[in-house]
Structure 1
Amino acid sequence: MSFRLYVLFSFLVLFQTVGFTQNSLTGKVTDSLNKPLANANILAEPKDSLQQIKFAITDDKGRYRLDLKSIPYTVTANYLGFAKKSFDIQLDRDKTQNIILKESAEGLEEVVLDMPMVVKKDTILYNVNQLTTGEERKLKDILKKLPGMEVDKNGGITVNGKKVTHMLVENKKFFGGGTKLAVDNIPADAVKQVVVLDNYNEIAMLKDFQESEDMAINIKLEDDKKDFVFGDIEAGLGNDEFYNAHSNLFYYSPKTTLNAIGNLNNVRERVFTYDQYFRFQEGMNSIFDKGTTTFEDSYDDFSDFLEKEDVIESDRRFGAINFTQEVNNKLNITGYGIFSKTKESTLVESTNEYNLFTEDRSIATATNNELAMGSISAVYIPNYTDQWHFKSQFKSADDSYTNTINSRVDTVSNAFLNDRFGEQTFFNQTVEWHRKLSREHSFSGVVDYTYDKLTPRTLWQTNDDILAGLIPIMDEPSIRINQFKQTEKNQIKSIFKHYWVLNRNNHIYSTIGNVNLNQTFFTDDAQELDDGTQNNFGEAGFNNDFQFRLNDAFAGVFYKFRTGIFTFDQGAFIHYYSWNPNQENTSVKDRVVVLPNITAKAEMTRSKSLQFNYELKSSFSDASQFASRFYLQSYNSVFSGNTTLENTLRHDLNLRFTKSRGYRGFGIYASANYSKQIEGIVNNVNYEGINQVVTPFLVDNSSETWGLSGNVSKKISQINFRTGLRYTNTTFLQFVNDIPFENRNQNTSYTLSAKTLYDDFPVIEIGWRQSFGNFTLSDNTTNFVTTEPFINFDYDFLSGFIVSADFTSYTYQNQTLDQRNSYEIANASLLYQKESSAWSFKVEAQNVFDVQFKNQNTFTSYIISDSRTFILPRILLFSIGYNL
């Protein structure tokens, strides 16, 4: 069946459902003085127990709306501190029913348990059993059904447009707080409540002092899952020796928790993502981040070894364990360990447009990655006024990486073999102290130490010319170049903060701190000759033995005040930088920088807010950017740093508007961003044919970016309509052969979708995504258009059957070269689990149409790339699962 027939069929099904007989019950909920009650719960329970419960929550004006079938319901209104009120109703037409609630002396906790959803200032509580059907399998299936929540394919969660940054289970972090492991593994039948905590801060006593962009979800478990081991095991086999095995076990008691997750697969299932990897390196509490300088690490060597989404071969093994132990009422210890072993192969073919020429290139890659990482932390609370936090993290990686590169420019072809072996060792120790001295004065302090060492070894082999004229190659039939590179970092941060509460609406915060960074960068490039000797490139300006020292002493003062619906937080940090790029007798440099920071927020209602942020940000590059001697960067590129570099400065502005769903089922999230690099680092690329010499240097007004993004959702009858828009426009300088060029990147994308929410009917989502790219590099302009209609289908039918499917048709067009490619990706599964049975059976198909590759385009400072990434073939799996 063609995609057009798919769309036609799906739209017929979707709009046929609109004909289902339903009527609307609307009205207002007020107290006895006619004051509207916002966020009151309205529950419509059908007399027929086989029918689904309906639920609504009032908006800021106390209005509600329920779309009901023409069957008898009992409607109940609930509000904290008020006696609930119920009445029976059966609608044969739209009707208005206002509800008046009276104050009650009933305990609040008892009221909360009766309400499907409770909204307070920074907290939303969902009682899961009143908002789900009981057919959900994992936590992600529950979250997708909760009002205002979205879960993406990578396990990321947003609530009313805001990203969730911390995941807790029974008030304890789940594997460091990442969301993916939780949504993919926690069984749905173990979840009793989901609590959303906005403006989240691990240090409860500091929550009101400093605004936080963090949001947490806390999972409360069913009582019968406590003091008891639960989890599930699943194993599947398929065609062409494909397999997938997964297990997880959980144990929760008041003082001890234990979580274990294991996975073996060769179907490219990603258990551990980039986000989780980089999140692991977060040590200090986020309250210490404001106003600090960013120290960038160019550890791109190691990122090549992380799991890829699109591969042609894959073998992944993953294991993780997480525990917490309450030693006594003053000391709590938690920790986790993760082990990953990955073997995979990728194949990418691309057409790369450089400033002066076009290259056709294919890269076949094989990686073998072993990664072990762990964390152990302790929270010690000796009394009511003090808290101590200790956190230790370690990471070790041992990796090998081989790729074969075939490059063709005009009529010249070259082939290169690249072998790389990498080892990384990482350790971080953080000690935090927090004290609430009095109602007016509180203090926080931290000392943070980081050690990071990376030692990649690379071998380039070719029978063709490599970097001719740039490296002193001795002519031999086969050229072999060895590179040893080592980057080692020692960094100590110490920060002290004072919070002074003048009164309820006026606060003054002050900070002093120091960062000391010592980084070494060593490279050795040499040709391995046939007679066993080496042709070292040191005399040709290669080989770095470089030490970079930097000290950042800083202080800041901020004044925060509230007036009416407005909150203002403004102040500035002053930094004194002193650094010594210790190579070739360079002298010590210093600089004083003032970094202002302003936040203004207007909360019109609990569900509607407008926030403005401005910050001047400063950052330093790592040692590799300062080291002035050459080193090999790739088969066609050598790099030389610049000891005259300084810190960069960037203006960042953001305006954000949020309105969550209310009476009319309408929600909107919109954001406008502007960024200007007033002092930035750009690369000067000198070409000699295909070969490049890249050198960074500091220039004024190096780049400028502005963008708009937003999404709007609207519920009409039992169909949820969504639309999203994103636009970015970036201009930046680049120097080619010492001549400046202004490059531009414009990208526009939008999404339209409609999703059915009817009872006893499939959940069908139909959508359309399209993106337009316009890239200008020097005098070359390239235009891309990607179009993606999609359909998602979920249906619970008969007794215990669940069918799921997703389909996306991709049309990719390079308008400049008049190239067009189309492909269709589809996946489907059928699950059967008899009610009250622990066993489940599943048949699934991945890449149903056996697509060979995906098309995409990328844009860097000096390359526009149009690429094809090859993927795994069609996979059919039969799985058996067992719930403990």
Structure 2
Amino acid sequence: MKICFNLLVCFALFSFNNSYTQNSLKGTVKDSVNQPLANVNILAEPKDSLQQIKFAITDDKGRYRLSLKSIPYTVTANYLGYAKQNFEINLKEDQVKDIVLKQSTEDLEEVVLDMPMVVKKDTITYNVNQLTSGEERKLKDILKKLPGVEVDRNGGITVNGKKVTHMLVENKKFFGGGTKLAVDNIPADAVKQVEVLDNYNEIAMLKDFQESEDMAMNIKLEEDKKDFVFGDIEAGLGNDEFYNAQSNLFYYSPKTTFNVIGNLNNVRNRVFTYDQFFSFQEGMNSIFDKGSTSFGDSYEDFSDFLEKEDVVESDRKFGAVNFTQEVNNKLNISGYGIFSKTKESTLVESTNEYNTFSEDRSIATATNNQLTMGSFNAIFTPNYKDQWHFKSQFKSADDQYSNTISSEVDTVSNLFLNDRFGEQTFFNQTVEWHRKESRTHSFSGVVDYTYDKLTPRTLWQTNDDILAGLIPIVDEPSISINQFKQTEKNQVKSILKHYWVLDRNNHIYSTIGNVNLNQTFFTEDTQELNDGSINNFGEAGFNNDFHFRLNDAFAGMFYKFRTGIFTFDQGVFVHYYRWNPDQEATSVRDKFVVLPNLTAKAEITRSKTLQLNYELKSSFSDASQFANRFYLQSYNNIFSGNTGLENTLKHDLNLRFTKSKGYRGFGIYATANYSKQVDGIVDNVNYEGINQVVTPLFIDNASETWGVGGRVSKKVSQINLQTGLRYTNTTYLQFVNAIEVENQNSNTSYNFSAKTLYNDFPILEVGWRQNFGNFTLGNNTTNFVTTQPFVNLDYDFLSGFILSADFTSYTYQNKTLDQRNSYEIANASLLYQKESSAWSFKIEAQNVFDVQFKNQNSFSSFIISDSRTFILPRIVLFSIGYNL
């Protein structure tokens, strides 16, 4: 199979049929007073309609470069506010051609759609039909071809190195604004334009008041997709009863939108994941986040239910519906509902290095998760000054998890069976008010209520000793331990903000607010004896019935001003914390905390920026960290909280530099970060063999992290070159058997790639990634090296055929133990869709080389782990699709 795959790539390479030589046309675009113009669109339209349009954008010095064939072209220079310039050219050799543009009084809207890409302040607009070939299937295929846009394997989007946080379609949120559902499901032929909106704020009147780290992407549809139902349906069958079926239906009109997405598969396609379920939250507008205290959530018990990327069995069902409706000119409503049901099995074999010994472990798991969530939002604008937002969200989870754990230390073997059942109920209600009182004064207020209840139940079964000497076990041939745990949270936030515009370059913002948090934490650990009676562990220091109450009253004042190329936004928040860890008559505690905050931004040019962010962050752990009676965390771990904990304080400093030049030209994105936890929480771990008793401690200077990274891209002729580097070093304290230990984790990674950009030939990307890890736990140091060369191919050939393939070779080496493992993962597909036909046919292969498992390593506070994760076998699917 490896030979076949290599031949496939070679076929694509030798398919290059460059019948024309390529010559360079370059020059400078200036205005009538000889000033260079940045971001001017240069189009070269061939006289032969079968040839591809060429396109470039000038950099900040007005320079452009085009690689053209030896055929006639009409070259057009387009820039908002200036008259177009046209000239004919047929290059026989490299040529320099400078262009002068004159200001125009014509309607600017008439020229916008002639430009493939328009950059204006915080907005980039891509006209898709001039940047793509028309062979794209989904939105993600389009985005991968847009300058400066990247899409990762999990559906995340970055533009010029910055993450997109809100997804819109026709200016309306798409399923709450998450990106994954959009990139995987919106048909490519429905997309007319892609807008990227930096410094995004959904409250338009507040956009200029407070700097935002949010970035939105707005998808504008083709005119023939409006007031019309469109979408696609696809179904596929394969070997060994594998299948995949999906459907997407969309309807958009000026006042109404309606979207439906469905998927059924057993080939591990991840449509919606558990971690998305936890993070999918409407809540307050981000303008209220600045200076806030972070409060921990008790989701640790639900980590077992997270969908895994690598499984040995999978069965996933997903359905979602989304709507918006303009009721009248004062009221807009929207909402969505999502349902997901997942069954999957995993198998992981690992070698775990503790401080003084090693363990061989095998874990076979099976999960059955059912997730439901819904949201309803309303925006009410009673007059030109006021705007009200009402947001309601509900989430529910019903999960089952079971695993079999085989553990061997030296010659001692143990077998454990673990069954866990989890339920979650979440509700959030937010009411926001925004008022533009006058040109100089505006107000924003919010009341936010959250209810969150988690109820995991766990059963451990074994015939071996479990936590010998640490829990009051009655010795029987078969041991069954039950745990009931419940965490319930009620939280109310109230915040009022005032914006005072002194003048265009000077603003003052003030904030007052209050957060009231009430959490309960209950655990009960018992042993069910063979005669049916119950051995309760309460008298041995187990079983929590804990109430945690906290009130955070705060006020903040910020001053923002602009001078020249610089913008400064600095201020301070003062918090008064009063909390009561109510267990065994613990007294009420209180304290004042001052949290400074600074943002400094230099806009050196329109394409070159430098930004510094500093913040002193405060956070409180959830109630489980305060509850000081024991409870079981796993078959080899007992945890006890600490009522003496306080809020942690961490200095967080980040420096970011961005520079981009021209269309698929040069771009550099560099970051440096430093953080230090001056008041922090560390683990105090006591070992007895593989068994652990863990208690959190509150100490000074708990951890320190610093790192640098960057990415550079450069277009050379029709080849796009990219390289990236990242180094991170973390030092943190830990107490092991009452001895203070300093642990360190340093990680260095780099990558480089080359990608062809020829419109007439296959898009071939060849690259290399390598990662070096150095993990030190106490006196033990372990070094890892992971190497990943990769190849990606997209090839449109003949009439209607699309070939796609990807190949990655993984080589993993543990230098300390002199271990080395390698494997190759490849996937390929061939699609045929006749032009103007609604039908499509596809054959695809996953895990072409039939790899059985993947090697990887992980690092935690206690363990360095080398593992083998088993995966699905080779899958070959034949699919038929229909576009509506």
Q: What TM bracket, shorter-length normalisation? A: over 0.9
Q: Does 1:34 align with 2:66?
A: no
Partner of 2:810: 810
Partner of 1:360: 360
Q: Does the 8 Å CA contact 1:150/1:158 hold for their aligned counterparts?
A: yes
Partner of 1:654: 654
Q: Does 1:559 align with 2:559?
A: yes
Partner of 1:756: 756
Q: Does the 8 Å CA contact 1:10/1:766 hold for their aligned counterparts?
A: no
Moved more, 34-43 or 831-840: 34-43
* d(CA) in 2 for partners of 1:49, 1:490: 65
Structure 1 residue 7, shift from structure 2 partner: 11
Q: Does the 8 Å CA contact 1:42/1:77 hold for their aligned counterparts?
A: yes
CA 1:320–1:631 in 2, change beyond 3 Å: closer, same or farther? Answer: same
SS at match of 2:656: strand
Q: Does 1:182 align with 2:182?
A: yes
Moved more, 43-52 or 94-103: 94-103
Structure 1 residue 92, shift from structure 2 partner: 0.9
Partner of 2:880: 880
Moved more, 870-879 or 63-72: 63-72
* d(CA) in 2 for partners of 1:303, 1:323: 31
What aligned pairs does 1:332-411 form with structure 2 within 5 A after superposition? 332-411=332-411
* d(CA) in 1 for partners of 2:562, 2:513: 27
* d(CA) in 1 for partners of 2:276, 2:439: 38
Partner of 2:868: 868
CA deviation profile, 1:589-626 (whole Å, cap 9, x unmatched): 00100000011110011111000011000000000000
Structure 1 residue 300, shift from structure 2 partner: 1.5
Q: Does the 8 Å CA contact 1:242/1:877 hold for their aligned counterparts?
A: yes
Partner of 1:244: 244
* d(CA) in 2 for partners of 1:820, 1:830: 34
* d(CA) in 1 for partners of 2:16, 2:669: 30
Q: 1:441 corresponds to which letter in structure 2? A: H
Q: 1:468 corresponds to which letter in structure 2? A: A
* d(CA) in 1 for partners of 2:9, 2:173: 45
* d(CA) in 2 for partners of 1:276, 1:455: 20
* d(CA) in 2 for partners of 1:522, 1:17: 70
Structure 1 residue 103, shift from structure 2 partner: 1.8
Partner of 1:637: 637
Moved more, 547-556 or 134-143: 134-143
* d(CA) in 2 for partners of 1:123, 1:781: 48
What aligned pairs does 1:119-198 form with structure 2 within 5 A after superposition? 119-198=119-198
Partner of 1:795: 795
CA 1:17–1:642 in 2, change beyond 3 Å: closer, same or farther? Answer: farther
Moved more, 203-212 or 1-10: 1-10
Partner of 1:414: 414
CA deviation profile, 1:230-287 (whole Å, cap 9, x unmatched): 0000000000000000000000011100000000000000001355323312411100
Partner of 1:472: 472
Q: 1:225 corresponds to which letter in structure 2? A: K
CA 1:760–1:664 in 2, change beyond 3 Å: closer, same or farther? Answer: closer
Structure 1 residue 510, shift from structure 2 partner: 0.6
Partner of 2:71: 71
What aligned pairs does 1:170-319 form with structure 2 within 5 A after superposition? 170-273=170-273, 276-319=276-319
* d(CA) in 2 for partners of 1:35, 1:629: 73
Q: Does the 8 Å CA contact 1:561/1:567 hold for their aligned counterparts?
A: yes
CA deviation profile, 1:319-350 (whole Å, cap 9, x unmatched): 00000000001110010010000100011111
CA 1:151–1:496 in 2, change beyond 3 Å: closer, same or farther? Answer: same
SS at match of 2:176: helix
Structure 1 residue 82, shift from structure 2 partner: 1.4
CA 1:206–1:667 in 2, change beyond 3 Å: closer, same or farther? Answer: same
Partner of 1:88: 88
Q: 1:695 corresponds to which letter in structure 2? A: T
Partner of 1:505: 505
Q: Does the 8 Å CA contact 1:238/1:877 hold for their aligned counterparts?
A: yes
Structure 1 residue 306, shift from structure 2 partner: 2.7
Q: Does the 8 Å CA contact 1:14/1:756 hold for their aligned counterparts?
A: no
CA 1:188–1:12 in 2, change beyond 3 Å: closer, same or farther? Answer: closer
Q: 2:89 corresponds to which letter in structure 1? A: I
Structure 1 residue 355, shift from structure 2 partner: 1.7
Moved more, 63-72 or 238-247: 63-72
Q: Does the 8 Å CA contact 1:14/1:764 hold for their aligned counterparts?
A: no
Q: Does 1:111 align with 2:100?
A: no
Percent identity of paired positions between Structure 1 and Structure 2: 83
SS at match of 2:726: strand
Q: 2:396 corresponds to which letter in structure 1? A: S
SS at match of 2:126: strand
CA deviation profile, 1:389-427 (whole Å, cap 9, x unmatched): 010000011111000000011111100000001110000
Q: Does 1:594 align with 2:597?
A: no
Structure 1 residue 298, shift from structure 2 partner: 2.6
Q: Does the 8 Å CA contact 2:140/2:184 hold for their aligned counterparts?
A: yes
SS at match of 2:279: helix
CA 1:689–1:512 in 2, change beyond 3 Å: closer, same or farther? Answer: same
Partner of 1:782: 782
What aligned pairs does 1:426-505 form with structure 2 within 5 A after superposition? 426-505=426-505
Structure 1 residue 302, shift from structure 2 partner: 1.8
* d(CA) in 2 for partners of 1:148, 1:364: 42
CA 1:502–1:856 in 2, change beyond 3 Å: closer, same or farther? Answer: same
Q: 2:171 corresponds to which letter in structure 1? A: N
* d(CA) in 2 for partners of 1:196, 1:62: 23
Q: Does the 8 Å CA contact 2:58/2:661 hold for their aligned counterparts?
A: no
Structure 1 residue 873, shift from structure 2 partner: 0.4
CA deviation profile, 1:656-696 (whole Å, cap 9, x unmatched): 00011327911000000101011110010111222111000
Q: Does the 8 Å CA contact 1:249/1:261 hold for their aligned counterparts?
A: yes
SS at match of 2:661: coil
Q: Does the 8 Å CA contact 2:492/2:515 hold for their aligned counterparts?
A: yes
Structure 1 residue 12, shift from structure 2 partner: 11
Partner of 2:685: 685
Moved more, 55-64 or 18-27: 18-27
* d(CA) in 2 for partners of 1:213, 1:578: 31
What aligned pairs does 1:576-725 form with structure 2 within 5 A after superposition? 576-662=576-662, 665-725=665-725
Structure 1 residue 304, shift from structure 2 partner: 2.1
Structure 1 residue 128, shift from structure 2 partner: 1.1
SS at match of 2:305: coil
Q: Does the 8 Å CA contact 2:147/2:663 hold for their aligned counterparts?
A: no
SS at match of 2:91: coil
Partner of 1:325: 325
SS at match of 1:304: helix
The TM-score, its normalising length taken from structure 1, stands at 0.98
Q: 2:438 corresponds to which letter in structure 1? A: S
CA deviation profile, 1:141-199 (whole Å, cap 9, x unmatched): 11111111111111111111111111100000000111111111111111111111000
Q: 1:371 corresponds to which letter in structure 2? A: L
Q: Does the 8 Å CA contact 1:236/1:880 hold for their aligned counterparts?
A: yes
* d(CA) in 2 for partners of 1:863, 1:664: 44
* d(CA) in 2 for partners of 1:20, 1:711: 33
Q: Does the 8 Å CA contact 2:60/2:661 hold for their aligned counterparts?
A: no
CA 1:493–1:301 in 2, change beyond 3 Å: closer, same or farther? Answer: same
Q: Does the 8 Å CA contact 1:63/1:663 hold for their aligned counterparts?
A: no
Q: Does the 8 Å CA contact 2:275/2:306 hold for their aligned counterparts?
A: no
Moved more, 457-466 or 61-70: 61-70
Partner of 1:826: 826
What aligned pairs does 1:48-59 form with structure 2 within 5 A after superposition? 48-59=48-59
Q: Does the 8 Å CA contact 2:27/2:99 hold for their aligned counterparts?
A: yes
Structure 1 residue 586, shift from structure 2 partner: 0.2
CA 1:443–1:705 in 2, change beyond 3 Å: closer, same or farther? Answer: same
SS at match of 1:322: strand
Q: Does the 8 Å CA contact 1:118/1:124 hold for their aligned counterparts?
A: yes
* d(CA) in 1 for partners of 2:98, 2:200: 36
* d(CA) in 2 for partners of 1:481, 1:275: 29
SS at match of 2:113: helix
Q: Does the 8 Å CA contact 1:3/1:809 hold for their aligned counterparts?
A: no
SS at match of 1:456: strand
Partner of 1:22: 22
* d(CA) in 1 for partners of 2:194, 2:2: 42
CA 1:318–1:25 in 2, change beyond 3 Å: closer, same or farther? Answer: same
